[in-house]
Amino acid sequence: MFLTLAASDLFNQIAPWLGGLVVVAVIGGLIMVAARRNATNKSADTPSIGFTLADLRRLKENGEMDQSQYERAKASLMKSPEMAGHLSAISQTQSTMKVPRKKPFQSPPPPGK
């Protein structure tokens, strides 16, 4: 029965299904994009615990904190165990690193020698 259908009749039977398939694919893609965006923004929505040095700088620049308050808060932040551990790890790494010394420039030997 289907073998005797004309090409236009066959297209008229398949076109709605193809259109539906395209719509389902587009909706699925939009759902995936929304889910990915939602998953990546979760980390940005969580507030950080405590102040960072950048937060202190921002407060000082906005005028919410004067210079003496900034210096006290910065000193307190630097004395915190988390920052002290981080700074000591950096200083140990830097103290054990050997800085390569550059050799002074020497001109190449003359071509005849």
Closest CA to 87 of 70, 74, 73, 99: 74
Task: Tell the residue number behind the tokens 């003496």, with chain if given.
Answer: 68
Helix (H) and strand (E) counts in the chain: 4, 0
For the chain, percent of residues with pLDDT exceeding 70: 66
Query: CA nearest 55: which of 74, 82, 75?
Result: 74
pLDDT at residue 1 in the model: 46
Dump pLDDT digits (tens) for 23-34. Answer: 999 999 999 999
Over residues 54-106, the pLDDT tens digits come to 888 899 999 888 999 989 988 888 887 766 555 555 555 555 566 667 777 77
pTM of the model: 0.35
Domain boundary assignment for the chain: 8-45, 53-95
**d(C-alpha 83, C-alpha 48), whole Å:** 15
Strand ranges in 4-79 using DSSP code E only, listed in sequence order: none
Task: Tell me the average pLDDT of the chain.
Answer: 78
Contact 84, 90 (CB under 8 A): no
